[in-house]
Structure 1
Amino acid sequence: MGMVKTLLDIRLIIFESLESGFSHMVTSVLTVFIVIDLFKAFVDYQENDRIRLTDITDATIFIVLREIAVGLYSQEFGYEFILSLAALLFVLSIMRVLAIKYSPAKSRAPGADTTNVQSEGQTAKQSVSAILDKCKAASESN
């Protein structure tokens, strides 16, 4: 649904002002990234019956980045608000790094650090590709 909205926003660029249409496009694309990340967290919850802290912090980081981009583009926020969002982004990034470093799923074997990080990335890619395959199959059947 988000991609349909994004494609419909292209007509705003053509028929309305470029500034208004581009603003809608940027907002829509960033919102699609947030929805994809939330779907990834939901699929991970369905498979493992737990929610990982990294999934939640990723979604929150995407939301903060979206707000910063929209605020900077529309020039409605003051520098104090942008700086506070940047500080929040910094804290969330530190929290994500610490969540990966001190993950309870990580084994204590030597050399496990790189293996677990690689397998987490591969699992995320497989989950996202499974979701995209399901969406593609559903759109082809319609």
Structure 2
Amino acid sequence: MDSLKLFKQVTDAITTIILYILLFALIVGMAKTLLEIRFIIFESLESGFNHMVTSVLTVFIVIDLFKAFVDYHEHDRIKLTDITDATILIVLREIAVGLYSQKFGYEFILSLAVLLLVLGIIRVLAVQYSPASKPQSYQTPLKGEGQTSKKGLNALLDWCNPDAEGKRPLS
């Protein structure tokens, strides 16, 4: 048996098992969220709201992880946007829990806010420079033999530079 086929079969089996575990966790998390409505009815609104926010954000984290594993299972690649989305939700959950429980100092919440800002920037850059959405107009042919095209940021910079050798592409 070929080692690559074996690797593919093992990773498929592992991701399938993890998908079932995440599906079970999603069902249990949703049931727990529905059961925590009693905290709003029988206890204080503040305590009930704290439980609800924590549970709902946890369910969203599980949904994002489920989405990331489904994408890996189908396409054999991990999207940076799925991972950053899950991480952003984890940080948001920690900020919400810390704010409602008032157990974190302002330094810790500020550091989580900075982490959230950095993750947001990474998320925007991952969408903007996604390999799936490369515009064809930024590809210009190079002069010389053996090289067919120049892609990416260098081509865009050369296209915008009026002093660059050659002409701008008309496409």
TM-score, normalisation: structure 2:
0.60
Q: What's the C-alpha RMSD, in Å, of the aligned pairs?
A: 1.6
Asked if 1:98 is matched to 2:125, the reply is yes
CA distance, structure 2, for counterparts of residue 93 and residue 22 of structure 1 = 26
CA distance, structure 2, for counterparts of residue 98 and residue 9 of structure 1 = 38
Higher helix proportion: 1
Map of 1:41 onto structure 2? 68
The correspondence of residues 102-141 of structure 1 with structure 2, limited to 5 A, is 102-110=129-137
**Amino acid paired to 2:68:** A
The correspondence of residues 12-31 of structure 1 with structure 2, limited to 5 A, is 12-31=39-58
CA distance, structure 2, for counterparts of residue 108 and residue 23 of structure 1 = 45
Cα displacement string for residues 52-99 of structure 1 (whole angstroms, at most 9, x for unaligned residues): 111100100010011111111221111111110010001111111111
Runs of 4 or more off by more than 3 Å in structure 1? none
**Amino acid paired to 2:32:** K
Task: Tell me: higher relative CO, structure 1 or 2? Use CA pairs within 8 A at least 6 residues apart.
Answer: 1
Map of 2:102 onto structure 1? 75
> Percent of pairs identical after alignment?
80
**Structure 1 residue runs without a partner (length 5+):** 112-142
Q: 2:90 aligns with which of 44, 47, 63?
A: 63
CA distance, structure 2, for counterparts of residue 10 and residue 75 of structure 1 = 22
**Amino acid paired to 1:8:** L
**Amino acid paired to 1:15:** F
Map of 2:113 onto structure 1? 86
Cα displacement string for residues 35-55 of structure 1 (whole angstroms, at most 9, x for unaligned residues): 111111111111111101111
Map of 2:33 onto structure 1? 6
SS in 2 for 1:94: helix
**Structure 2 residue runs without a partner (length 5+):** 1-27, 139-171
